Amino acid sequence: MKLMVVAICFALLLASGATGQEIPKVNIPPQLWKKNWAFTEFQGSCVHASAIMLWRWQGQYEWAEFWGKKYYHGEYADRFHARCDREGVTYCDTYDQGDESHLYWAIRTRRGAVVAISDGPLYGYHPTPSNPTGRIAHAVCLVHLDDKWAGILDNNDTGPGPGVVKWVDRRAFLEDWHNSGSWAWTPVSTPPAPPQLIRKGSTFPIPLPFHPKPAVVPRPRM
């Protein structure tokens, strides 16, 4: 397994050098990571943690902190969408439609996407006596998608650790995503900050204006 991970990372490094493109495409720096928190029995705040990372990546730092103080614990798509609508959040989503174009759009525009996953072993979650199949109900950030690989930024401390991109075969990821309800959610705020704006050792990048309630606009549809 370790040799395979090293081989994947080496291949991606060569690809990034050959094309001049940043990999992962949505390269969220450590200062913007958000660990899962507020655990209760069998659930945490994975949807909210993933959304907070994408809001921070798009420059909405204060808004991300506001959201994390107000909303936490387990979440599901319909309620999350209703809460976003109530708070005036602008976003693009797809649910139970199998619409892969949303995923490619989210990566192409460097916004990223919160996605639902359920095949635990695919992402490093091992079966246990209480969960022999390793199936999970989890949400993570999709930060890369190309013709071979999907890049997953997990808010849990699993696999190589929180904030470390896990590379999964694209076809295996898409199959699991479809089997998990094909939910994807992407905030549509300011463009992502260029990496050079991240100050070493800082908690957040250079602040941008805080807009606690963005104007409600029709959500883009793929």
Predicted pLDDT at 161: 53
Question: Residues 43-57: pLDDT tens digits?
Answer: 789 999 999 999 999
What are the structural domain ranges in the chain?
Answer: 24-191
Predicted pLDDT at 162: 56
> Is omega for the bond preceding 24 within 30 degrees of 0, making it cis?
yes
What is the full DSSP assignment across 119-146? Answer: EGGGGTPPPBTTBTT-EEEEEEEEEEE-
The average pLDDT across 163-192 equals 90
Question: Residues 59-115: pLDDT tens digits?
Answer: 899 999 999 999 988 898 999 999 999 998 989 999 999 999 999 999 999 999 999
The average pLDDT across 129-143 equals 92
pLDDT for residue 197 is more than 80 = no
Task: Tell me the CATH number for domain 24-191.
Answer: 3.90.70.10
pLDDT for residue 127 is more than 50 = yes
Kindly state the helix (H) or strand (E) to which residue 163 belongs, with its residue range.
none
